[in-house]
Structure 1
Amino acid sequence: MTTLPPLAMTRPKLTSLARQKLPCCPETIPRAQLIKEKDDIDHYLEVKFKGLSKEEVAAYRNSYKKNICVDMLRDGYHKSFTELFSLMEKWDALREAAKVRSILWLQRPLEEQPDKLDHFYYYLTRAEVAERKEYFEDVYNNLYALACYFNNPEDKWVRNHFYQRCFQIAQLIKIDGGKKAAESLGHMGLLFEEDGQLLEAAEYYEAFHQLTQGRIWKDETGRFLNLLACESLLRTYRLLADQMLENKDYKQAIKILIKASEIAKEANDKKMEGEASYYLGLAHLAAGEHKTALAVLRSYTELSTDLDDDLSLGRAYEAIAKVLQSQGEMTEAIEYLEKVVKIARNNFQSLDVVKASTMLGDIYNKKGYYKKASTYFQQAFDTTEELTNMPLIDEIKVHYGIAKAHQMMLTVNNYVEAADLASLDCLLAWKEGRSDIAPDPVTGEPRGSTTENV
């Protein structure tokens, strides 16, 4: 979105005079003080500036917002005044609603923001003049400038209002081949996406994508509109697919992600194509289609290798390991997870180290290799301490504790089964101290299961 420079404008007479008494006080001024200030101004004007017109006196007495409105009406911008007045009413209504919900609300009164009022006056009146002459492209540019100016969390509803106005005006522009219409479709898609209405957003993005196909149009930052349309559409499709997967509607989720994958290939962007393959592979995995999931994820691996993108490669290996684990092919899954740990360590991705180490610990724990499971859980635990993520630390503690308990249980069972004097002494010593079990007096190692020793 464009960041506009400070506005250099020629203000009307009332506005210029009123501007001299700004900035406005952000606090509520007591009525007695207002009356005193009015009397002081009257006296000052009477003494110093005899002969001032009523309009000039009013410029000092009235609020800046009122002077802006008066200037609009006096100069014949009735349509601009109507739109501004409607926006000001909504502004006040939103402030009152926020005041009811919370004592602390952020939205300041419009009277205290003269720069915003200046922008309203400047661009709305210019748009109205252009509309009278049927210069619809100039109308669009002025309304879009207002949308850019109000693109902040506090005033997003104002931005959305001008996005809708731009969309309406763009339908009347016939001289640019449809570029402004395409841009406005993208803005409308964003409006609905931010509001959580993903189906409506997808419709606008699809129309945006269709209009930009085969075009070399660029936005104000130099980005191709077609690429922007593909990115927006893929993002929306993925969010829709996530909702479908949550509802276990796997067929529809896979269908929409296949569509996303085709759009990514059309965009000729390998990174985008890889992202689409990744989410499609996970959808096939969720649906239990392991063979298809593995094929799609291997294509993601190839794309990540071509791009020399280690982080994407690590993510691909982790997803493949999940598929292999679901198929019961634990040996291959372990190989991929060990690659993930290595890549994550080389790129200082601590969270990925924790995830892969925990998966390895779970696999070894289920196979009965408790010593190895404890090693990987300890590795995950040591890494979580660096992240200072308490919920994650607590979760890893539980995994680590279970694996250590299993490891100790096997050793104790082996001592019990041995039923000799040395084993009995070790058990008694352990009962007294409740620390780690003493090493096997024969091998010098803690006794473990037969399968683990093998």
Structure 2
Amino acid sequence: MQQKSVPDQQSEILSQSEISLFRNSLKQNICVELLLDGFHRSFSEIFSLLSSDVDRRTAIEPGPSVTVPTPLEEQWDKLETMRLHLRRAEQAENTGSWAVVCDQRLVLGHYFSALEDVWLALHFFHSCADREQGGRTRPATEARARMAEIYLQLGELQRAKRQAELCLHQAEEGGWLDSDGRPLRLRALRALWRVYSRLADAPLDAEDHDEALKLLHEGHSIAVESEDKRSESEACYRLGVTYQRAGDRDTAKQLIGSC
């Protein structure tokens, strides 16, 4: 029987760090790696998010139709994506490259697009847009547009309105495009029109036609400014229907006919 050479024997001996990959959990390996490489802020942020995930899942009341999401610490792809981009963001922060910091956080916000990950998306979008340094860069402005859309989907209209207005103000200053090449200013206007349209629902339900019309007129002006013909047509139609409910049939007929 041929004896193995020394190099062959050495290649079979695993290092302590390699052994830890088998012994430790995924969360432990990623956190230890960040600490050993000096990325202390990234470690703290991931550790905090993992703790928040535990609290969120603990707060879910069990039931036959309730599905408890998979623990974040068991989802390798999400943890690895956070590790990668937070490292890059921290490296950029150390050199004062604030636009790069915000861009890495914007990437993370877009990555967590699934419904169950909305809380993570909002965390990274906020951490991108609400920064003292970099909070008025192009990536931060796009993060505000995305938050406006998310809050609108969640029915948190005042938060959506605030983010859309901030995005609009910053986009008008910078003249920026979003990641898909669309003007951020127009994206903010479209979100803002939808906010005003939704805000009009409550006074309409209460038969407060004057307040509903006030909000819908504001929304219509924004829709026209957005250069989105579909939004403008929807805004015009909603105004027409509301005038009809208020008893002004002539104005209603004119508006509905024009759209």
TM-score range, shorter chain: 0.7 to 0.9
TM-score (norm 2): 0.86
Aligned length: 251
- Contact kept in structure 2, 1:167 and 1:188, CA below 8 Å: no
Decide which of 272, 282, 293 is 2:252's aligned counterpart.
293
Kindly state the Cα deviation for residue 256 of structure 1 after the two structures are TM-superposed: 1.2
Decide which of 100, 106, 125 is 1:138's aligned counterpart.
100
Change beyond 3 A, Cα 1:184–1:111: closer
2:225 partner letter: E
Kindly state the Cα deviation for residue 150 of structure 1 after the two structures are TM-superposed: 1.1
Alignment partners' CA distance in 2, 1:151 and 1:285 = 39
Alignment partners' CA distance in 2, 1:82 and 1:155 = 19
TM-score (norm 1): 0.51
Question: Is residue 217 from structure 1 mapped to residue 217 from structure 2 by the alignment?
Answer: no
Decide which of 88, 92, 95 is 1:126's aligned counterpart.
88
Larger radius of gyration: 1
Kindly state the Cα deviation for residue 253 of structure 1 after the two structures are TM-superposed: 0.9
Kindly state the Cα deviation for residue 282 of structure 1 after the two structures are TM-superposed: 1.0
Alignment partners' CA distance in 1, 2:218 and 2:142 = 22
Kindly state the Cα deviation for residue 103 of structure 1 after the two structures are TM-superposed: 8.1
Answer with 226-235 or 250-259: which moved more: 226-235
1:146 partner letter: L
Q: Give the root-mean-square deviation of aligned CA atoms.
A: 2.5
Kindly state the Cα deviation for residue 223 of structure 1 after the two structures are TM-superposed: 1.9
Kindly state the Cα deviation for residue 216 of structure 1 after the two structures are TM-superposed: 4.9
- Contact kept in structure 2, 1:202 and 1:233, CA below 8 Å: yes
2:133 partner letter: L
Alignment partners' CA distance in 1, 2:173 and 2:41 = 39
- The equivalent of 1:38 in structure 2 is none
Question: Is residue 200 from structure 1 mapped to residue 162 from structure 2 by the alignment?
Answer: no
Kindly state the Cα deviation for residue 244 of structure 1 after the two structures are TM-superposed: 1.5
Alignment partners' CA distance in 1, 2:227 and 2:18 = 63
- The equivalent of 2:71 in structure 1 is 109
- Contact kept in structure 2, 1:215 and 1:226, CA below 8 Å: no
| Aligned residue runs from structure 1 range 194-273, under 5 A | 194-213=153-172, 216-273=175-232
Alignment partners' CA distance in 1, 2:223 and 2:248 = 22
Query: SS state of the match for residue 253, structure 1?
Result: helix
2:222 partner letter: I
Kindly state the Cα deviation for residue 178 of structure 1 after the two structures are TM-superposed: 4.8
- The equivalent of 2:134 in structure 1 is 173
Alignment partners' CA distance in 2, 1:269 and 1:114 = 41
1:190-249 CA-to-partner distances (Å, cap 9, x unmatched) read 233233221231222123233334875321222222221221111111111122201122
Query: SS state of the match for residue 90, structure 1?
Result: helix
Query: SS state of the match for residue 100, structure 1?
Result: coil
Query: SS state of the match for residue 96, structure 2?
Result: coil
Query: SS state of the match for residue 219, structure 1?
Result: coil
- Contact kept in structure 1, 2:109 and 2:124, CA below 8 Å: yes
Alignment partners' CA distance in 2, 1:185 and 1:262 = 21
Change beyond 3 A, Cα 1:51–1:271: closer
- Contact kept in structure 2, 1:237 and 1:256, CA below 8 Å: yes
Unaligned ranges ≥5, structure 1: 1-46, 301-454
1:349-408 CA-to-partner distances (Å, cap 9, x unmatched) read xxxxxxxxxxxxxxxxxxxxxxxxxxxxxxxxxxxxxxxxxxxxxxxxxxxxxxxxxxxx
Kindly state the Cα deviation for residue 75 of structure 1 after the two structures are TM-superposed: 0.9
Unaligned ranges ≥5, structure 2: 1-8
Question: Is residue 274 from structure 1 mapped to residue 233 from structure 2 by the alignment?
Answer: yes
Change beyond 3 A, Cα 1:110–1:211: closer
Question: Identity of paired residues, percent?
Answer: 35
Alignment partners' CA distance in 2, 1:167 and 1:102 = 39
